[in-house]
Amino acid sequence: MSSDPSTFQSPEHTQVNQDTHTQIADNSYPPATADHPRSDAPDPTTSAPVPKLSQPHGATTSTVHDASQGRQSTTAAAGASELASLKVKITAGLREIPDFPEPGILFVDIMPLFANIDLHKSLIRALELKVVESFKNKVDVIVGLDARGFLFGPSLALAIGASFVPMRKQGKLPGDTVKSTPFTKEYGASKPDVFEMQGDAVKIGDKVVIVDDIIATGGTAVAAGELVRKLGGILLGYVFLMEIEGLKGKGRLEAPSHILLGKEDGSSTERP
């Protein structure tokens, strides 16, 4: 091609109209109109970009992710607020009985929670929120300890979509059973107890949470945890309604433990 401007030739397929208002290609003559569009023109009904409804205009992947995180934070905050309110209601429903089961013991009676429908529902909902808050893994099995763990364990298991397995005192379960190591109860029983579970109750690899009404010395909970592991279960941890803090039972446990009505939420249930 010559560098002389006078010899420059236009591209082969384009003709420039001297009228400054139009520039049309040879293969589009006569000019396209609304009634007679060009045959090779893109169909606006099919070629227009489809907006992404899940991502607002101008948002980036990062901002959408941040929004999702914000929703999760809001949900978590709402759950924490609901749980705090439920715990106040549940605590008010407890009853204290002095000198039981021995002189000098102030026994905290949880039975009124089950006699009242609203309190019963509140307890199960609070436990559900506590489990979801405390354990990030899906719980496969709730193991309730003999005997007050049986009162709320099955309902909690249903609420979180898990199965329920009772852990009973020796000689109470039919069929093949597996025994725990002997343990001593909180109030100085004359002889050690032994827990049993049916041999097929917990499968190898099941993620297990153990529940009971209270932890004192921790002997019962330790034996229960060892038995779950003996069957091949993965012990995620424990959930107790209350704790006798002075006996320091939580310090003996080899898995995380959570107290529904205890110091974790700024209150205390220690009763000498």
Q: Which residue among 125, 186, 245, 252 is the active-site one?
A: 186
Q: Which residue among 125, 148, 229, 271 is the active-site one?
A: 148
- Let me know if 186 is a catalytic residue: yes
Look at residue 210 and tell me if it is in a domain.
Answer: yes
47-51, 76-80, 93-97: range with lowest mean pLDDT: 47-51
Within 13 Å and on the Cβ side, how many CA atoms surround 16? 5
CB-based contact 128:156 (threshold 8 Å):
yes
CB-based contact 109:96 (threshold 8 Å):
yes
Look at residue 240 and tell me if it is in a domain.
Answer: yes
Across the beta sheet with 207-215, the strand order is 177-179, 195-198, 163-169, 141-145, 207-215, 234-243, 257-259
Look at residue 91 and tell me if it is in a domain.
Answer: no
d(CA 253, CA 235): 11
- Mean of the per-residue pLDDT values for the chain? 81
Q: Tell me: pLDDT of 28 over 50.
A: no
User: What pLDDT sits at residue 163?
Assistant: 99
CB-based contact 83:261 (threshold 8 Å):
no
- Single-letter amino acid, residue 227: L
What is the H or E stretch that residue 234 is in?
strand 234-243
User: What pLDDT sits at residue 248?
Assistant: 92
Start-end of H helices in 97-182: 111-115, 117-134, 149-160
Where residue 17 falls among pLDDT bands split at 50, 70, 90?
very low
The pair of structure tokens assigned to 266 is 């700024």
- Let me know if 168 is a catalytic residue: no
Look at residue 108 and tell me if it is in a domain.
Answer: no
Q: Tell me: pLDDT of 191 over 90.
A: no
Count: domains in the chain: 1
d(CA 81, CA 223): 34
Look at residue 146 and tell me if it is in a domain.
Answer: yes
DSSP state of 252: G
User: What pLDDT sits at residue 197?
Assistant: 98
Q: Tell me: pLDDT of 226 over 60.
A: yes
At residue 214, φ and ψ (nearest 5 deg) are -150, 150
CB-based contact 253:225 (threshold 8 Å):
yes
Q: pLDDT digits over 75-84, tens only?
A: 788 899 999 9
CATH number at residue 178: 3.40.50.2020
Look at residue 192 and tell me if it is in a domain.
Answer: yes
| Mean pLDDT, rounded, for 117-121 | 99
The pair of structure tokens assigned to 10 is 């236009």
Q: Helix and strand tally (H, E) in the chain?
A: 6, 11
Bigger pLDDT: 163 or 64?
A: 163
Burial of 70 (0-12, 13-18, 19+ CB in 10 A): exposed
User: What pLDDT sits at residue 16?
Assistant: 43
CB-based contact 41:32 (threshold 8 Å):
yes
| Mean pLDDT, rounded, for 189-210 | 94
> In angstroms, what CA-CA distances link 64 with 53, 57, 76, 265?
12, 11, 19, 33
Look at residue 149 and tell me if it is in a domain.
Answer: yes
| Mean pLDDT, rounded, for 5-12 | 46
The pair of structure tokens assigned to 26 is 């040879």
Bigger pLDDT: 261 or 28?
A: 261
CB-based contact 108:214 (threshold 8 Å):
yes
The domain in which residue 208 lies consists of 126-265
Look at residue 73 and tell me if it is in a domain.
Answer: no
